[in-house]
Amino acid sequence: DAAARGVQVYVLIYKEHKFVLPNDSQHARDELRGPNIHVSRHPEFYLVPQMWSHHEKIVVIDQSVAFVGGLDIALGRYDSPAHDLVDSGPQQTWTGQDYSNPRVRDFVDVANHRAELIDREAVPRMPWHDIHCRLEGPVALDVAHHFILRWNFTVENKVVSIRSPQRPMLLPFAKPIWEATDYALNGSGTDAVNCQIVRSLCQWSGGIATEKSIQEAYIDLIRTAQHFIYIENQFFVSGFEHEKNVANRVVDALYHRIVAAHEAKQTFRVMFLMPLLPSFEGAVTSSSSASLRAVMHWQYTTICRGGNSLLERLAKIVPDPSQYVAFFGLRQHAMLGTQVVTEMIYIHSKLMIVDDRMAII
Which listed residue (55, 227, 297, 333) is catalytic? Answer: 55
Active site residue 146: no
265 is catalytic: no
**Active site annotation includes 348:** yes
Residue 36 and residue 10: Cα distance in Å, rounded?
8
Per the annotation, the verdict on 109 as an active-site residue is no
Judging by DSSP bridges, how do beta strands 132-136 and 200-201 pair with one another?
A: unpaired
- Which one is catalytic: 17, 18, 62, 227? 62
Q: Cα torsion at 247, 251, 257, 260 (round to 10°)?
A: -100
Query: Which member of 87, 106, 220, 355 is catalytic?
Result: 355
Per annotation, catalytic residue among 42, 83, 262, 350: 350
- Residue 30 a catalytic site member: no
Distance CA 76, CA 78 (A): 6
Task: Find residue 353's DSSP bridge partners.
Answer: 230, 359
Given the DSSP bridges, would you call strands 325-328 and 269-273 parallel, antiparallel or unpaired?
A: parallel
Q: Is 158 a catalytic residue?
A: no
Distance separating alpha carbons of residues 270 and 257, to the nearest angstrom: 10
Q: What region, left, alpha or beta, does residue 102 occupy, with left being phi > 0 and alpha being psi -120 to 50 degrees?
A: alpha
Does the CA dihedral 17-23-24-29 come out positive or negative?
A: negative
Determine which one of 38, 42, 57, 146 is catalytic. Answer: 57
Q: Characterize 260-297 residue by residue with b for buried, 16 or more Cβ atoms within 10 angstroms of its Cβ, and e for exposed.
A: ebbeeeeebebebbbbeebbbbbeeeeeebeebeebbe
The residues annotated with a catalytic role in the active site are 55, 57, 62, 348, 350, 355
